Chains A and B, each alone.
Chain A
């Protein structure tokens, strides 16, 4: 007779299908929840692997991503979102991204040309190369990288990072031709390229259309940043004005400070709330002493005695316009004059395309493409990145490049493209107020920044990296949206209401039909109900399902069986944080060979049967160690101790001393075991178990 019931549980699918909001918001749809969880466990290399699977250039995103994932993060309903980008940076730096070398084999004969070496072009080349196509990138400037190189200042994205990624691509076999401006697509086809990806970016600054705009001393933001980024040091004078409120304006202002300008002012025609630049960038700019003039627009520039006399007008905000921001309206008679040595205009950029490309151009000089296939009006010509969307983010460009690579593959393989718009939606709604109330509030930990005094003189990176402890603790704040418990076997549910009573977050409820529901959008995946359900009807999805513990335990027992050291002690240790599988486990590594650690993704998920299984397989002692420090979950200690008591009772009934089962965690023992004393406590426990083991051997000898 086979155990039909347990088979059913083994065979059920434990994959999860709910897309968390962070993943849905990411243009690349990266498995954010997964890598954040791995960082929380201190598994940085595994985290990097997950990151690399979803992102061709994680090191670049780690510096400059505008992290729409953080805006979507549901933790912001509780306190503040998870610092996802900074955690990625941590994983990239500590996981050894620099060391990773990629290889690619040429398996296809069709050559593909990529025009432009910005993020979209590089990503497209990366994926095409992985698909086995020979790829050539044509770059007009002297260095590859597009906006990564000429648009983003070094203090935000160090050049070495771009260099490393470009080198990796070259190593994969991508050919990069710099200083090569493509003038005709026909020529490329004549050269034997079967498909072309146009990703020339949006490098042309928009003109303000005011009198005196072409005076010496007025420079556009894109050109200014390009010159600075390519190593020139434009002379700016003392006073610099920057017109605009976007990231380019902020970048230009901060670059000006670093070039030695004494007074840098940003002139923006709306107020701070409407500024499209990222709030952290604005904050950092203000810290560096940059002045802001809101509701001000220049209307006339006049060069006098080597200075610029700029006439400005004050604005007021009227009705919201098409994009939802309030339209600025000039206030009559509010004109005033101000003086600058240099005026940088950064009010927007557009692509600049050679007419010889014969591509259909749409709104804002962008290339018109089919949003699904990225095809243009010319056969075999695809386009993406800023050249199609207008100025957008690096991550959007990477996503566009990836999409282009797959669609070019479809085209070259004569496959009908899948109607995948690349959009993903999260079905998770808002957290309910009573759940929010029960979620422990934990302060968001930010990576350290270089102090403003140190920043303004040079172009070194402003943001530093987390230390290990902060990164792990920050990652532990994740709510694991969509990974929650689920009544998988509704037919088994006895509606006993255990889940409803044990849930620390008030998530399960009784529906109108009298059935229990565990709404996925509220569940925090703590696993308490799963371990307590008397009908075993509830499961957690991967990687939290109980089979994970079974596997880890069997693995430890197997290794233990091969080892001769006695007595055998099994330690179930929390995988999160740095105590259980960290500090405590390292004590064991220092020579206490009889101890085997079973990592658990929160000890609240540990069930009685796991503990009993350890004893069954010959463990003389078992200990349970939580994460030891600030736990982000509720009631874990209570439930661990409940289960410990239940097992101890049974141990006593079958003639085993209850003290063979111990817990090591400050929270479990009301502070009796401080973390620092863990070594001593573990020593005592080992000694005690050694004594019990000896006793049992003697008893056995006597009996025989």
Chain B
């Protein structure tokens, strides 16, 4: 799941400053789950902006709130067709994908980000989220006992641990587990310690052209002798 964090209110106030009528648009999927941009946070931000406006005496914004099921699909955004006509800008509390899909779907209206899209991760417990995947496109988790060194090792090294490990913690942050010690312990538990002996060549960053695209559908041209 994508994890995001709401931007500070003063930043949001700056970006919306030029627009009078602003649609605060939540997303009902990842950012709801990570408590950054679901319906609850939309109404919280709405209240916070109202307070800021009322207390500072500047700003004449009119806010509208709405939360769609998922901002990263055109079809869900179709529900907004009429609503966007009544606003001057959309403040999206969806992730960076949501913001861009809105921009693409509604070319005539400014769309502004209300959250910082942080990482792909999981809820460790209520109110705590951890990164788990870097979307490197070249998954090696089979060799590392299901623990990703790219995201969980500060250096992201493929052949660890480095000399900075101390009592199972990372030198960069003594509260953070050393990913390679975790990998070692789990391999030991799985009786696969031989995997530690292998050398993993560096990833070839050049083979990942951006932006990435996955095409699942076959390229079929009807009427061209394919049946």
A492 within 8 A of B: yes
B165 within 8 A of A: no
- Taking CB atoms, residues of chain B closer than 8 Å to A5 are 39, 65-67
B198 within 8 A of A: no
Q: Which of A494, A532, A656 touches B33 (beta carbons < 8 Å)?
A: A494
Q: Encode contact with B along A600-638: 1 for CB under 8 Å, 0 otherwise.
A: 000000001100110111100000000000000000000
Are A3 and B64 in contact (CB-based, < 8 A)? yes
Q: Which of A498, A608, A612, A651 touches B126 (beta carbons < 8 Å)?
A: A498
Interface residues of A in 640-676 (CB under 8 A from B): 642, 646, 650-651, 653-656
Q: Which of B52-60, B95-103, B153-161, B187-195 lies at the interface with chain A?
A: B52-60
Are A535 and B64 in contact (CB-based, < 8 A)? no
Are A4 and B66 in contact (CB-based, < 8 A)? yes
Shortest Cβ gap from A575 to chain B (Å):
23
A534 within 8 A of B: yes
Are A492 and B44 in contact (CB-based, < 8 A)? no
Are B39 and A496 in contact (CB-based, < 8 A)? no
Are B65 and A608 in contact (CB-based, < 8 A)? no
B171 within 8 A of A: no
- Taking CB atoms, residues of chain A closer than 8 Å to B56 are 654-655
Are A496 and B32 in contact (CB-based, < 8 A)? yes
Are B40 and A536 in contact (CB-based, < 8 A)? yes
Known: A497-B123, A654-B52. A534 touches B38 (CB 8 A): yes
A434 within 8 A of B: no
Residue of A nearest to B12 (CB): A653
B151 within 8 A of A: no
Interface residues of A in 518-537 (CB under 8 A from B): 532-536
- Taking CB atoms, residues of chain A closer than 8 Å to B8 are 653
Are A608 and B66 in contact (CB-based, < 8 A)? no
Shortest Cβ gap from B153 to chain A (Å):
28
Are B65 and A3 in contact (CB-based, < 8 A)? yes
Known: A1-B82, A612-B50, A650-B9. A494 touches B55 (CB 8 A): no
For the complex, give the distance between the alpha carbons of A303 and B54 in Å: 95
Known: A497-B123, A502-B126, A616-B50. A492 touches B28 (CB 8 A): yes
A542 within 8 A of B: no
Shortest Cβ gap from B38 to chain A (Å):
4
Q: Which of B10, B32, B67, B127 touches A653 (beta carbons < 8 Å)?
A: B10
Are B39 and A492 in contact (CB-based, < 8 A)? yes
B141 within 8 A of A: no
- Taking CB atoms, residues of chain A closer than 8 Å to B48 are 612, 650, 653-654
Are A654 and B39 in contact (CB-based, < 8 A)? no
- Taking CB atoms, residues of chain B closer than 8 Å to A612 are 44, 47-48, 50-51
B41 within 8 A of A: yes
A589 within 8 A of B: no
Are B33 and A496 in contact (CB-based, < 8 A)? yes
| A6, A609, A655 interface centre (most CB from chain B within 10 Å) | A609
- Taking CB atoms, residues of chain B closer than 8 Å to A654 are 9-10, 13, 48, 51-52, 55-56
A501 within 8 A of B: yes
Are B32 and A534 in contact (CB-based, < 8 A)? yes
B116 within 8 A of A: no
- Taking CB atoms, residues of chain B closer than 8 Å to A3 are 64-66
Are A653 and B47 in contact (CB-based, < 8 A)? no
Shortest Cβ gap from A310 to chain B (Å):
72
Q: Which of A532, A535, A608 touches B47 (beta carbons < 8 Å)?
A: A608
Shortest Cβ gap from A471 to chain B (Å):
36
B29 within 8 A of A: yes
Shortest Cβ gap from A272 to chain B (Å):
51
Residue of B nearest to A502 (CB): B126
Shortest Cβ gap from A596 to chain B (Å):
17
| A3, A495, A501, A654 interface centre (most CB from chain B within 10 Å) | A654
B35 within 8 A of A: yes
Are A1 and B44 in contact (CB-based, < 8 A)? no
For the complex, give the distance between the alpha carbons of A492 and B67 in Å: 9
B224 within 8 A of A: no
Shortest Cβ gap from B223 to chain A (Å):
43
- Taking CB atoms, residues of chain A closer than 8 Å to B82 are 1
Are A1 and B64 in contact (CB-based, < 8 A)? yes
For the complex, give the distance between the alpha carbons of A608 and B9 in Å: 15
For the complex, give the distance between the alpha carbons of A3 and B83 in Å: 10
Shortest Cβ gap from B24 to chain A (Å):
11
Are B55 and A655 in contact (CB-based, < 8 A)? yes
Are B32 and A494 in contact (CB-based, < 8 A)? yes
Are B54 and A618 in contact (CB-based, < 8 A)? yes
- Taking CB atoms, residues of chain B closer than 8 Å to A532 are 40
Q: Which of B38, B44, B52 touches A494 (beta carbons < 8 Å)?
A: B38
Q: Which of A495, A616, A655 touches B54 (beta carbons < 8 Å)?
A: A616
Residue of A nearest to B47 (CB): A612
Shortest Cβ gap from B82 to chain A (Å):
7
B86 within 8 A of A: yes
Residue of B nearest to A618 (CB): B54
Known: A494-B29, A502-B126. A536 touches B43 (CB 8 A): yes
Known: A3-B66, A650-B48. A535 touches B28 (CB 8 A): yes
For the complex, give the distance between the alpha carbons of A502 and B123 in Å: 13
- Taking CB atoms, residues of chain A closer than 8 Å to B44 are 608-609, 612, 646
B175 within 8 A of A: no
Are B66 and A533 in contact (CB-based, < 8 A)? no
Shortest Cβ gap from A376 to chain B (Å):
61
B75 within 8 A of A: no
Are B47 and A616 in contact (CB-based, < 8 A)? yes
- Taking CB atoms, residues of chain B closer than 8 Å to A656 are 51, 55
For the complex, give the distance between the alpha carbons of A357 and B84 in Å: 80
Known: A502-B126, A613-B47, A616-B50. A534 touches B65 (CB 8 A): no
- Taking CB atoms, residues of chain A closer than 8 Å to B9 are 650, 653-654
Interface residues of B in 6-30 (CB under 8 A from A): 8-10, 13, 28-29
Are A1 and B86 in contact (CB-based, < 8 A)? yes
B125 within 8 A of A: yes
For the complex, give the distance between the alpha carbons of A494 and B2 in Å: 13
Q: Encode contact with B along A1-16: 1 for CB under 8 Å, 0 otherwise.
A: 1011110000000000
Known: A498-B126, A608-B44, A612-B47. A534 touches B54 (CB 8 A): no
- Taking CB atoms, residues of chain A closer than 8 Å to B34 are 496
Known: A3-B65, A498-B126, A654-B10. A534 touches B50 (CB 8 A): no
Shortest Cβ gap from A349 to chain B (Å):
62
Shortest Cβ gap from A493 to chain B (Å):
9
Residue of A nearest to B13 (CB): A654
Shortest Cβ gap from A534 to chain B (Å):
4
Residue of B nearest to A494 (CB): B32
Residue of A nearest to B6 (CB): A650
Interface residues of A in 79-95 (CB under 8 A from B): none
For the complex, give the distance between the alpha carbons of A502 and B10 in Å: 30
- Taking CB atoms, residues of chain B closer than 8 Å to A497 are 123
Shortest Cβ gap from B10 to chain A (Å):
5
For the complex, give the distance between the alpha carbons of A642 and B41 in Å: 15
Are A535 and B66 in contact (CB-based, < 8 A)? no
- Taking CB atoms, residues of chain A closer than 8 Å to B123 are 496-497, 501
Known: A4-B66, A5-B67, A653-B8. A535 touches B50 (CB 8 A): no
For the complex, give the distance between the alpha carbons of A618 and B67 in Å: 28
Known: A1-B83, A609-B47, A612-B44. A501 touches B54 (CB 8 A): no
Question: 29 A-B Cβ contacts within 8 A?
Answer: A5-B39, A5-B65, A5-B66, A5-B67, A494-B32, A496-B33, A496-B38, A497-B123, A498-B35, A502-B126, A532-B40, A534-B33, A534-B35, A534-B40, A535-B38, A535-B39, A536-B43, A609-B43, A609-B44, A609-B46, A609-B47, A615-B55, A616-B51, A616-B54, A616-B55, A650-B51, A654-B48, A654-B51, A654-B56
Given contacts A654-B51, A656-B51, 9 further A-B contacts (CB under 8 A): A496-B123, A501-B125, A533-B40, A534-B40, A535-B40, A612-B44, A617-B54, A653-B10, A656-B55
**6 closest A-B pairs (Cβ-Cβ)?**
A612-B47, A496-B33, A534-B38, A654-B52, A501-B126, A494-B32
Footprint of B on A, CB under 8 Å? 1, 3-6, 492, 494-498, 501-502, 532-536, 608-609, 612-613, 615-618, 642, 646, 650-651, 653-656
